[in-house]
Amino acid sequence: MSGGPLIVQSDKTLLLEVDHPDAQACRMAIAPFAELERSPEHVHTYRLTPLGLWNSRAAGHDAESVVDALIKFSRYPVPHALLVDVAETMDRYGRLQLLNDPVHGLVLRGLDRIVLIEVAKSKKLAGMLGSRIDDETIAVHGSERGRLKQALLKLGWPAEDLAGYVDGEAHEIELAQDGWTLRSYQQEAVDGFWAGGSGVVVLPCGAGKTLVGAAAMATAKATTLILVTNTVAGRQWKRELIARTSLTEDEIGEYSGERKEIRPVTIATYQVLTSRRGGAFTHLDLFGARDWGLVIYDEVHLLPAPIFRFTADLQARRRLGLTATLVREDGREGDVFSLIGPKRYDAPWKDIEAQGWIAPAECVEVRVTLTDAERMAYAVTDAENRYRVAATARTKLPVVKALVHRHPGEQVLVIGGFLDQLHELGDYLDAPIVEGSTTNKERERLFDAFRDGSLRTLVLSKVGNFSIDLPEAAVAIQVSGTFGSRQEEAQRLGRVLRPKGDGRQAHFYTVVSRDTIDTEYAAHRQRFLAEQGYAYTIVDADDVLGPPLPQVE
């Protein structure tokens, strides 16, 4: 018995004892290939998955290094069958390669001829492959590079894409040198992305993903298309690029519902690109409007399905995905892997916090007891509407007000998913609301007032889930959301993680209705953040917030 910190189990779970003296070294060794599932106080659970092992293989790690790490840190002998499975799973990556042949163009080459024969017979590849060139090589229709990678991944034979990239139209971009430099992890992220050509960088909210994008643009020195979640996020990108790079305002175009500018650097919203007229996507030709050298997908975990489809045609362009979490509630992580690229860099939230680049945060779930009338309304509601009834209970209103009062002088965001509830909260707290119908001009006015401190409390709808730069927000109170979405939970905590000028702690409250599905969804939502090391304290509204709160008439 080695006495190591890791227990490797035959079901492909890895249990890491957090308090062991070698725990940190072990975590660093297994992080490139094992997916963290749960991280409560004492034992963290990782899982070995094919996608995780292939991500690791794509990043340059081989099976030998994975096996060595498992054996080195394991407390007990590692199950032999698991080691064999790890080696064989990783060996599946790269037995097929996509290459650019000088004579035949795009080809699929099989380092294992029998695997090539196997996949070529699959109906899932129908129409993607051309004629057989020789025993090891089959021609590929040039437009099918992305879709072929998707299909091969689903067949369990992920192809190594060595077909290269076009440089695109050159455009000079330099990082500004006035008083700032890339943080070490940001530089590592850019280096990892550029070495691989395309892929995803995972960094916590507030850790400067935009700067990673800017540095990638300065490395590519080419025309760049940047896709963002909304117009406000796009304008934040523009401000950052003007401040941090040699780009001028005239070189950066906005392609949104309000403007249709195509410039050397063009920032477009997912919403306008996925808008339809007569059933057709009328703006997807933006992807071909210029000879783009780089395409950046902000918040890549939110990538809409139509953009996935078009991204399949962009395989000759360098592609950078930026996200705080690769969790997709629709399970399409494999599509991100095959169409944007493998994960090239991932930094745990708590590591960035320990370096002082994001604020420490206290997470508290506040449980409220519904009135008898509210409990009855919940009991007689049909199943599909129960979450709404529980999440929007009016008993939450005084709890939210009491939480706001607990933090006098702090900048507070109140976030929810149901507009009628948010309007009620806005009236109750005498605070303005930003929702989907709020004009971009009004949003920016309210955000500016919040940033300069003249507005202390702001109520946000789902627009608060996306890239909004409100660095002094120190308190977030969520009252309802998109069912059990882990993505949304991470994004909402991210709204308060920008480091504060005085180093103070952030506070993240979730107000839930006891004995309802609201509590169940809250537990599911918290999973991703628990994996990152954030512990939720559960408190009772009455006990923590003073004497019994008045009922809302």
Q: Could you report the per-residue pLDDT of 477-536, keeping only the tens digit for each?
A: 999 988 778 888 888 888 888 887 777 899 999 999 999 999 999 988 888 787 777 888
Residue 544's pLDDT band, with cuts at 50, 70 and 90, is: low
Check residue 478 and give its pLDDT.
95
Between CA 402 and CA 5 the distance in angstroms is: 44
Q: For 245, phi and psi rounded to 5 degrees?
A: -135, 180
Mean pLDDT (the chain, rounded): 90
HEC per residue, 348-371: CHHHHHHCCCCCCEEEEEEEECCC
Is the confidence at residue 2, as pLDDT, over 60? no
Residue 425 in 3-state DSSP?
helix
Strands of the sheet with 265-269, listed across from one edge: 252-255, 265-269, 224-228, 294-297, 318-323, 199-202, 343-346
Q: Could you report the per-residue pLDDT of 92-111, keeping only the tens digit for each?
A: 999 999 999 999 999 999 99
More confident: 133 or 282: 133
Residue 549's pLDDT band, with cuts at 50, 70 and 90, is: very low
Residue 404 in 3-state DSSP?
helix
The predicted model gives 411-423 an average pLDDT of 94
Is the confidence at residue 547, as pLDDT, over 80? no
The predicted model gives 209-218 an average pLDDT of 96
User: In the beta sheet, which residues pair with residue 509?
Assistant: 364, 477
The predicted model gives 229-243 an average pLDDT of 92
Contacts of 256 (CB under 8 A, 6+ apart): 231, 234, 268, 269, 271, 272
- DSSP-derived letter for residue 176 is -
| Of the candidate ranges 83-87, 220-224, 295-299, 303-307, the one whose mean pLDDT is the lowest | 303-307
Smallest CA-to-CA distance from 531 within 59, 25, 16 is with: 16
> How big is the chain, counted in residues?
553
Contacts of 545 (CB under 8 A, 6+ apart): 366, 399, 402, 403, 406
Q: Could you report the per-residue pLDDT of 13-72, keeping only the tens digit for each?
A: 999 998 999 998 998 899 889 987 777 778 889 999 999 999 899 888 899 999 999 999
More confident: 381 or 543: 381
Is the confidence at residue 466, as pLDDT, over 80? no
Check residue 42 and give its pLDDT.
86
Between CA 549 and CA 541 the distance in angstroms is: 8
Q: Could you report the per-residue pLDDT of 437-453, keeping only the tens digit for each?
A: 888 889 889 999 998 88
More confident: 133 or 465: 133
Name the percent of the chain lying above pLDDT 90: 62
Check residue 503 and give its pLDDT.
76
Q: Could you report the per-residue pLDDT of 304-321, keeping only the tens digit for each?
A: 888 888 888 889 899 999
Asked whether the beta carbons of 201 and 347 are under 8 A apart, the reply is no
Is the confidence at residue 354, as pLDDT, over 60? yes
Is the confidence at residue 552, as pLDDT, over 60? no
Is the confidence at residue 90, as pLDDT, over 60? yes
Q: For 265, phi and psi rounded to 5 degrees?
A: -115, 120
Asked whether the beta carbons of 391 and 480 are under 8 A apart, the reply is yes
Please report which helix (H) or strand (E) contains residue 244, including its range. Answer: helix 231-244
Residue 376 in 3-state DSSP?
helix
Contacts of 532 (CB under 8 A, 6+ apart): 36, 39, 204, 348, 349, 350, 490
Check residue 551 and give its pLDDT.
52
Between CA 45 and CA 16 the distance in angstroms is: 6
pTM for this model (two decimals): 0.85
> CA angle 210-211-216, nearest 5°?
100
Is the confidence at residue 368, as pLDDT, over 50? yes
Q: For 433, phi and psi rounded to 5 degrees?
A: -120, 140
Please report which helix (H) or strand (E) contains residue 510, including its range. Answer: strand 506-513
Place of tokens 């430099």: 181
Between CA 34 and CA 43 the distance in angstroms is: 15
Asked whether the beta carbons of 33 and 56 are under 8 A apart, the reply is yes
Between CA 172 and CA 184 the distance in angstroms is: 24
Q: For 243, phi and psi rounded to 5 degrees?
A: -75, -35
Q: Could you report the per-residue pLDDT of 135-162, keeping only the tens digit for each?
A: 999 999 988 999 999 999 999 999 999 9
Check residue 491 and give its pLDDT.
85
Check residue 494 and give its pLDDT.
86
Smallest CA-to-CA distance from 210 within 229, 193, 186 is with: 186
